[in-house]
Structure 1
Amino acid sequence: MTVTTFKPDTAAQAADAVRWALAEGTPLDVAGSGSKRGLGRPIQTAYTLDLSGLSGVVAYEAEELVLTAKAGTPMADILPMLAERRQQLAFEPQDLGPLFGQPAGRGTLGGVVATGLAGPRRISAGSARDHTLGIEGVNGRGDLYKGGGKVVKNVTGYDVPKLMAGSYGTLTALTELTVKVLPAPEDGRTLLLAGREDAGAVAALTTALQSPHEVSGAAHLPAGVAARSRVRGVAGAGGAVTLVRLEGFGPSVAARVAALKEELGADAVLDRDESLAVWREIRDVAYFCPHPNPPPLRRGGDLSPSPASVGEGRGGGNDARHIWKISVQPSEGPRVAESIRWALDAELYFDWGGGLIWVAAVPAPDAAAAIRGALGAAGHATLVRAPEDVRTAAEVFHPLPDPVMALSRRVKESFDPCGILNPGRMYAGV
């Protein structure tokens, strides 16, 4: 199929493109840089609305902790700018480009909000939805409109910015966003517990999260996953590792690390550089990327190769496994993980204190049924990476109960009555 691409430079041009598609009765594949194009159900359309031309920071009010930028602004531009002012997007946005075999750093602010993804700090800071204050965009009627504003408590009635987060471009083609930023932590350390089985690891993570020590990251890497880390302290542990992150002011971090290390019986403490590196790996699902991992990180940032990181064996090279993201009650995580291992040729690791399980499974016809059967009513599963034909045939997103699906259809019809914007990206007919 020959695809025609509209690449507007202004919000008004984006609105013109949607109005044209509406008049022609043809749907649009709404995209930014395309770094997450493999996420969701494939869209069958001959026209793409490429929003990557809408790029640039509109306003950065560091003192007010507010950033406004056009939707196509690369995260590679935004994050360093925030870091210069010692600020951050606290929900720790993921860079999933490499998971789909693309270069790192190609994601955009609009893509981050539209997919609603968040990294390990979600357990303490919330998701992208919680940090989205305002939006500007074009709905499926061709109307250019605004929702929200630049302060947190400015909403009366329908909270449109929160609705757009995680809508995958099915309701509005986002052209501009306002997000909340927060001070970046001065320091960070990670406690490492070696050799715990899944159940014992999740129990330790629960203890840490229920403590008064303000944990901002809680993950567990089984032995095979930990061995592929680029962080020497993790790869060299010789087995499974359980990780607990503490962030904040230097003296506070030191005191909390000492107290929690004794409480948990931790085996080691990763320094700031190692801590930053391992949580980037966890955030971006680096262990299941199709490219070999970089070499392990030495103290001071020096890099050197090691057998654990060259990408050989499971998880390295051209990894054709399907990737699933499973949200589950943390207490049910070990049971669900064990059920998946019994049913499929798969490996996995835990984030969010055991409430998020990333699974890399060898392709199998019954994989979706096995994973969702293992879950039962304990959570939901999303197929993150698989070939287009698999994503066309399978339920990529977890099936919704009938009342929720009916509500989703009504919301879609209110914003996009003719199904112009990313139709079927999440669910058939929505």
Structure 2
Amino acid sequence: MVDIIKPQNKEDLKEAISWAASSQSILEVISGGSKRDLGRPIHSKATLDMTAFNGIIDYDPSELFFKAGAATPIVDIEKELESNNQMLAFEPINLSNLLNVKENKSTIVGSLSANLSGPRRIKAGAVRDHFLGFEGVSGRGEGFKAGGQVVKNVTGYDLCKLLCGSWGTLGVLHTVNIKVLPSPETTRTLVIYNLNEEEAIECFTLALNSPNEISGAAWLPDKLSTLSDIDYISSSGSTITAIRFEGIKQSVVSRMKDLQSRFETIGEVEELHSLNSRKFWREIRDIKFLVFQEKQMVWRLSVPPICGGKVYKQIIDGFDSSVFMDWGGALLWVRVNQYSDEEYIARKIHNIAAQAAGHATCIAADNSIRSSIDVFPPLNLIEHGLTDRIKKGFDPKGILNYGRMYMEL
């Protein structure tokens, strides 16, 4: 039976990690637990439950930042921000629908640890770009901190960028500082019907290279568009190419009109106004169109936008799968339905992403499969050595989420 350690303050946290280091006991670090089944399974001696580090500590709307306990639920943060007409611009992903979890337990540190950015990534940047500072404890049981409360030039190594996306393998954060931005006054989405994947990429390229500041660009094949809760999408019976505009109403209307004038022939179009537009992009953000079930795998591929259509075709032709694109073709969400040779499938998907100068991550699969495949992009000898040195620098005894990203790391 795995012990559960639930520190109540910083000193408890240091003591718990110091004990684990001295006894070389592997800890599984959790906050809300919503992403517990992502990554390789962890064989731990104890679970480090961080839920006591909960709540907004400092929030100054005029300074566009907040400080919070690491395990503060995203829904609580967003509720507070909405009362001041502000938002988390990186659009934190809610994986509850994908993973068939009834309750959204996502926490702010979970979003940071996974570095999974939503559709606004193409305009606002990744999760790591909004991570201002933190306080935490290393695998040595020593407290450390980095960054601050504002965006500014700093000397030294940017530890926020390093910790973001490390899946809890380098340190345990108990306090984080995050940048926020004003919510847009108006949101509208230009929907174009019946474009194939390559035609959609052409539209995205034109839109992203125009001065019209789009904040979302996604494409759905016809068999997935029927799953939307928005009638304009689900009843179309066609592929969906969606381009989002946000800002002041007059600006949004003008930019949408200008972009349409730049398309020579785009066929039938529709506009989603604020309510439907926000609902649609939540569906894209939360991967509503791909629900994971037993004996399936869900993959996330990040590639150069111009390669999105080509990679889509390779996946569809190579596997029994469902795929849609986000980030203007730079992000592909893939559900592989066949499950006869999972190790071959994993190698093939990693190769497809690598050949396009991108990378792939397995977001969902059964435990036995995640134990036997490369969940994260395979490392060459140089990358493995560098990753190993970083891990040993922060966690020399290898006690924090050991093996979650890579075997023996």
Please tell me the TM-score bracket, short chain as reference: over 0.9
User: Are 2:302 and 2:353, in contact at CA under 8 Å, matched by a contact in 1?
Assistant: no
Counterparts of 1:15-414 in structure 2 under 5 Å? Answer: 15-153=14-152, 155-264=154-263, 265=266, 267-290=269-292, 318=293, 320-362=295-337, 363-365=339-341, 366-378=344-356, 379-414=358-393
Matching residue's letter, 2:350? R
Q: CA deviation at 1:400?
A: 2.0
| SS of residue paired to 2:387 | helix
Percent identity between matched residues is: 40
Q: Distance in 2 between matches of 1:67 and 1:375?
A: 36
Matching residue's letter, 1:11? K
Q: CA deviation at 1:154?
A: 5.2
Q: Distance in 2 between matches of 1:110 and 1:375?
A: 28
User: Are 2:294 and 2:365, in contact at CA under 8 Å, matched by a contact in 1?
Assistant: no
Q: Distance in 2 between matches of 1:11 and 1:242?
A: 48
Matching residue's letter, 1:335? K
Q: CA deviation at 1:102?
A: 1.2
Q: CA deviation at 1:262?
A: 3.1
Q: Which residue of 2 aligns with 1:300?
A: none
Q: Distance in 2 between matches of 1:154 and 1:193?
A: 42
| SS of residue paired to 2:102 | coil
Q: Distance in 2 between matches of 1:222 and 1:408?
A: 38
Change (3 A) 1:202 1:425: same
Q: Which residue of 2 aligns with 1:5?
A: 4
Map Cα deviations across residues 130-150 of structure 1 (whole Å, 9 max, x no partner): 010101111000011211111
Normalising by structure 1, we get a TM-score of: 0.91
Q: Which residue of 2 aligns with 1:421?
A: 400
Q: Distance in 2 between matches of 1:171 and 1:35?
A: 19
Map Cα deviations across residues 137-167 of structure 1 (whole Å, 9 max, x no partner): 1100001121111111152201111111001
Change (3 A) 1:198 1:319: farther
Change (3 A) 1:160 1:36: same
Q: Distance in 1 between matches of 2:21 and 2:353?
A: 40
| SS of residue paired to 1:69 | strand
Q: Distance in 2 between matches of 1:61 and 1:280?
A: 27
RMSD: 1.3
Matching residue's letter, 1:173? V
Normalising by structure 2, we get a TM-score of: 0.96
Structure 1, 157-166 or 257-266: larger mean CA deviation:
257-266
Map Cα deviations across residues 170-208 of structure 1 (whole Å, 9 max, x no partner): 000110100111111111100001001111111111111
Q: Distance in 1 between matches of 2:287 and 2:398?
A: 33
What count of residue pairs does the alignment treat as equivalent? 402
User: Are 2:290 and 2:322, in contact at CA under 8 Å, matched by a contact in 1?
Assistant: no
Q: Which residue of 2 aligns with 1:303?
A: none
Structure 2, unaligned runs of 5 or more:
none
Q: Distance in 2 between matches of 1:339 and 1:319?
A: 24
User: Are 2:188 and 2:245, in contact at CA under 8 Å, matched by a contact in 1?
Assistant: yes
Q: CA deviation at 1:97?
A: 2.5
Map Cα deviations across residues 354-380 of structure 1 (whole Å, 9 max, x no partner): 010000111231211221233342111
Structure 1, 367-376 or 167-176: larger mean CA deviation:
367-376
Change (3 A) 1:287 1:104: farther
Change (3 A) 1:271 1:104: farther
| SS of residue paired to 1:288 | coil
Q: Distance in 1 between matches of 2:254 and 2:361?
A: 39
Structure 1, unaligned runs of 5 or more:
291-317
Q: Which residue of 2 aligns with 1:312?
A: none
